[in-house]
């Protein structure tokens, strides 16, 4: 069932998403060679709780951490660990959810660590472009397929593939709500978007084949061919004319400066 949000509920969701955007910026300050993903997780959890919110991911279906930290060929749901040490040239997707005032926010950003190859940086740029182009389709009267087709077409034109096994989703009082928001599809297909829908759009783009496998931890999804993958996500409210973006990368931009993609 799809739950349309009132204007008041959307503003509550904006508050959750802004805390999340600031939390990701705090993580961005710490990302560097030699830092462990567990350190990043502790930074995020402390910031979220200090700002009166709850890290939604922690405990969700047994997930043990605040962040999902997916490095290089890991696509999504990498578990933070003191054993995972970031190295120069890595990329890391940091994905998390925040709960405040009864509503969730959801966002992800893939960060370069130190000096990253031009080829991998192009993957990051294209994936973020896929996100922004997908968001441009999240307006009243369009269809879910318009979002997926736009993302898929942009990725494939650049020589990449999009993941099929993991998709975007509705969000609100629950972290995952209807509708499903695939990163592939056909324009003009799928449910009609209505004002008041809130969805998390999250392209996951592979530099090699699109196939993924789940690691032995039961959570971490990685590229089967072990080639790099990127992941960006923002939560948006469907509105007349264009989407209202509730989460933000602006705080990350303040931290990264010229290194912001």
pTM attached to this predicted model: 0.97
- Read off the pLDDT of residues 252-261 as tens digits, 9 standing for 90 and up: 999 999 889 8
Residue range 229-243: mean pLDDT, rounded: 96
3-state secondary structure the chain: CCCCCCHHHHHHHHHHHHHHHHHHHHHHHHCCCCCEHHHHHHHHHHHHHHCCCEECCCCHHHCCCCCEEEECCEEECCCCCCCCECCCCCEEEEEEEEEECCEEEEEEEEEECCCCCHHHHHHHHHHHHHHHHHHCCCECCCEHHHHHHHHHHHHHHCCCEECCCCCEEECCCCCCEEEEECCCCCCCCCCECCCCCEEEECCEEECCCCCEEECCCCCCEEECCCCCEEECEEEEECECCCCEECCCCHHHHHHHHHHCC
* Domains of the chain and CATH, by start: 7-259 (3.90.230.10)
**What pLDDT sits at residue 259?**
87
Residue range 152-175: mean pLDDT, rounded: 98
Contact by Cβ (8 Å): 85, 51: no
Residue range 32-43: mean pLDDT, rounded: 98
Contact by Cβ (8 Å): 19, 100: yes
Indicate if the pLDDT at residue 188 is higher than 90. yes
**What pLDDT sits at residue 261?**
87
Contact by Cβ (8 Å): 123, 68: no
Contact by Cβ (8 Å): 31, 111: yes
Q: What percent of the chain has pLDDT over 70?
A: 100
Q: b/e per residue, 107-129, with b = 16+ CB within 10 A?
A: bbbbbbbeebeeebeebbebbbb
**What pLDDT sits at residue 59?**
97
Indicate if the pLDDT at residue 202 is higher than 90. yes
Identify which of 52, 23, 7 has the alpha carbon closest to the alpha carbon of residue 248. Answer: 23
Torsion of CA 140, 143, 144, 148, to 10 degrees: -110
- Read off the pLDDT of residues 60-97 as tens digits, 9 standing for 90 and up: 999 999 999 999 999 999 999 999 999 999 999 999 99
Which single residue is written with the structure tokens 């000096």? 115
Angle formed by the axes of helices 37-50 and 7-30, to 10°? 140
Indicate if the pLDDT at residue 56 is higher than 90. yes
Indicate if the pLDDT at residue 245 is higher than 90. yes
**What pLDDT sits at residue 14?**
98
């Amino acid at each position: 069932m799809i739950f349309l949000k009132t204007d008041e509920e959307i503003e509550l969701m904006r508050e959750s998403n802004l805390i999340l955007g600031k939390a990701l910026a705090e993580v961005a300050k710490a990302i560097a060679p030699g830092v462990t993903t567990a350190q990043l997780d502790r930074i995020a959890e402390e910031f979220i709780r200090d700002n009166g919110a709850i890290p939604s991911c922690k405990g969700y279906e047994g997930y043990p951490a605040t962040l999902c930290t997916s490095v290089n060929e890991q696509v999504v749901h990498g578990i933070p660990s003191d054993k995972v040490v970031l190295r120069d040239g890595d990329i890391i997707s940091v994905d998390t959810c925040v709960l405040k005032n009864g509503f969730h926010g959801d966002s992800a950003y893939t960060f370069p660590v130190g000096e990253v190859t031009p080829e991998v940086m192009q993957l990051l740029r294209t994936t973020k472009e896929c996100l922004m182009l997908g968001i441009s389709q999240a307006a009243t009267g369009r269809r879910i397929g318009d979002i997926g087709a736009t993302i898929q077409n942009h990725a494939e034109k650049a020589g990449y593939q999009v993941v099929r096994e993991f998709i975007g989703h509705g969000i609100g009082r629950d972290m995952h709500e209807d509708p499903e928001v695939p990163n592939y599809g056909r324009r003009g297909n799928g449910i009609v978007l209505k004002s008041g829908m809130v969805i998390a759009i999250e392209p996951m783009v592979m530099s090699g084949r699109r196939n993924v496998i789940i690691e032995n931890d039961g959570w971490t999804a990685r590229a089967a061919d072990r080639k790099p993958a990127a992941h960006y996500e923002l939560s948006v409210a469907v509105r007349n004319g264009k989407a209202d973006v509730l989460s933000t990368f602006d705080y990350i931009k303040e931290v990264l400066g010229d290194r912001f993609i």
